[in-house]
Structures are given as C-alpha cells and as structure tokens.
Structure 1
C-alpha cells in the first residue's frame, strides 16, 4: 500500500485530535470548522480504502491476510465519521473529546494497517 498515504492519513488524524483536544481544553464543543477537518481526514481514509481495494484487485496480497486488512480498512474509514456523529449528539466539550479520541484511534489503525500490509 502507499506508505505516503498511510503517513498522511495518520498525521492528519493526529492533527485533528490535537485540534479537537485543544477545543475540549477550552471547554468548546465541535464547531463547523472541526467538521471540515473531519471531512478532510475522512476523504484521506476513503482514498486509502479505494487504493487498498484496487491493490487487492490487482492481485497484491497483504502479509498478514486479506480479511484482516479489509476489516482494518473499513474500520479506518468509519472511525472519524462515527466520532463526528457522536459529537453531534454531545454538544459539550465532550463532543470535542470524542473526536480527539477518534483521531488517535485512526492514527493507531494506520500504524496497524502498515504492519498488516508489510508484515
């Protein structure tokens, strides 16, 4: 899989986590510009999902198994949108904490995706 895309998605997820963590520290809920940041990270995860599926369709195999790789790809794609929807339900600082946690989880998923692909 593309190492640069995995790195970019992980770094963007950590930047989103820091940004929303700062908002939570200032006792603010998620705002419109946080949702724009979530959209950017989600698009990166979508591109990664498409690239991963295309590579699988071309016959390339992840070192640790296709099933677990696809499961992690789908989880990475769903991570930030799920946190965003949960932050809409909680319009306090805890909504920002939820998105910050989702960003950290996505960054960890990116490391794991790299490990699964490379072995």
Structure 2
C-alpha cells in the first residue's frame, strides 16, 4: 500500500473535519467550499482504492486478509460522500457536525488500513 497516500488522505480528512467543526462552532451549515473539500478528500480515497486494487492484482497481500482490506477501502471511499449527502438533508450547524464526524471516521479508517496492510 502506498503509505504516503494513506497518510495524505488521513491528514486531509482531519483537516476537513477541523474546518467543518470550525463552521459548526460558528453555527454555520456546510457551504459550497466545504463540498469542494469533500470532493478532494473523496478523490484521494478513490485513488487509494485504485492503488489498493492494483497492488492486490499484482499479487501483493495485506497482512490481515484481503477481504477485510477491500471492505475497509470501500468504507473509506463511501465515508465522506455519505456524510456530505446527510449534511444536505440537515442545513443547520448539525450538517457541518456530520461532515466533521465523517472526516474523523475516515482518518480512523486510514490508520486501520495502514495496520491491515502491515504498516
């Protein structure tokens, strides 16, 4: 697994969480800029999924099993978009809180992916 991509995705997710948390503390809903940030983090997670699948196709194996690795990759990819859609339904500060929580969850998933791969 590309360790750099994993750490960049995790840090970007935490930055998104901090940004949306800041907006929530100021009683603001998610705005267009937040959705651009979510798109960037989602593209990083998509790149990670592609790299992970390519490495599996080349015969490399994660330490803790291929099935759980792929499941975590798919969960990491879905985490921020699902939080973004939920924030659209809740156009108050709680929408920002939802995205902040999604960013924290993605960061935790990144640490777990690193462990699963054998980091």
Runs of 4+ with deviation above 3 angstroms: none
Q: 2:70 and 2:111 mapped to 1: Cα distance? A: 14
| Pair 1:32 & 2:21 matched | no
Q: What TM-score, normalized by structure 1, do the two folds share?
A: 0.99
1:112 alignment partner in structure 2: 112
RMSD of Structure 2 on Structure 1 (CA) = 0.6
Q: What TM-score, normalized by structure 2, do the two folds share?
A: 0.99
2:71 alignment partner in structure 1: 71
Q: 1:22 and 1:56 mapped to 2: Cα distance? A: 38
Q: What SS does structure 1 have at the residue aligned with 2:71?
A: helix
Q: What SS does structure 1 have at the residue aligned with 2:87?
A: helix
Report the count of equivalent residues.
119
1:3 alignment partner in structure 2: 3
Structure 1 spans left out of the alignment, 5+ residues: none
2:47 alignment partner in structure 1: 47
Q: Deviations over 1:1-20 (max 9, x none)?
A: 00000000000000000000
